[in-house]
Amino acid sequence: MFLRKQTSNFLIRNSGLCLADKHLSFLVRQFKNDNWVDKMKVILKKTVRKLGNAGSIVEVKDGYGRNYLIPSGTAIRATKDNIELLNTNKQNLEAENDKLKIEAQKNVQLLVNARLTFCMQFSADGKLYGSVSAKNISDMINDRYKVACAYNDVLLDTPIKNSGLHEVRISLHPEVEEVKVKVVIARTEAEANDVFNTASNAPVAE
């Protein structure tokens, strides 16, 4: 009887600690999510899709700002001096954005009937030995059509891993309508032509 009572008390005490530990762990995770994600404020020099227009002051994750927005010339730090400079040069930023928008509208027309062919090896069931990424597609657009296209202008959630005909959305500017380009993946150029001619009138893979 005494042993059962002692065992019961031990389990109660330890189960309480276990629950307390789990609760504490949950609170720590929440605190990290809410407070430990480093953020920074930047001034956008260019309009960025789903982020803001040129001249906007926005808050972004520190890594995104340091590793992409600032090095690419898309944004600058929102320091006191830069904010004052922004107020002085806001019209220039808006004019530059309008220029980029007009250029994007022209380039979209060049891509309306664009077809990109990737010659790759794949298995009998069409699975590629490798993949076609957003960067692969943007590089080919740059080379073949002489259109400035960054990898993040290619709206591809995951790399393409199947052969055949695919349609991929391209957004050259957030304020310009997207354009779809056809991406054909086959073993040879001749096979790509056959795939395109056969599939062009049929529903394409997304």
165-179 pLDDT, tens per residue?
999 999 999 999 999
pLDDT at 38 (0 to 100): 86
| Tokens 């597609």, residue located | 137
- Indicate the burial class of 182 (C-beta count within 10 angstroms; 0-12, 13-18, 19 or more): middle
CA geometry: angle at 191 spanning 185 and 196, to 5°?
A: 65
Q: Which residue has better confidence, 73 or 27?
A: 73
| β-bridge mates for residue 185, sequence order | 118, 164
Query: Quick one: average pLDDT of 5-29?
Result: 49
104-154 pLDDT, tens per residue?
999 999 999 999 999 999 999 999 999 999 999 999 999 999 999 999 899
| Tokens 């809410």, residue located | 34
Query: Quick one: average pLDDT of 48-74?
Result: 91
Q: What CATH architecture does domain 112-199 belong to? A: Roll (3.10)
Helix axes 134-145, 80-111, angle to 10 degrees: 70
| Tokens 């957030």, residue located | 174
Contact (CB, 8 A) for 129 and 155: no
pLDDT at 12 (0 to 100): 44
pLDDT at 21 (0 to 100): 54
Lowest mean pLDDT among 1-10, 93-102, 151-160, 178-187: 1-10
Domain ranges of the chain: 30-102, 112-199
* pLDDT value at 17 more than 50: no
CATH code reported for the domain at 30-102: 3.40.5.10
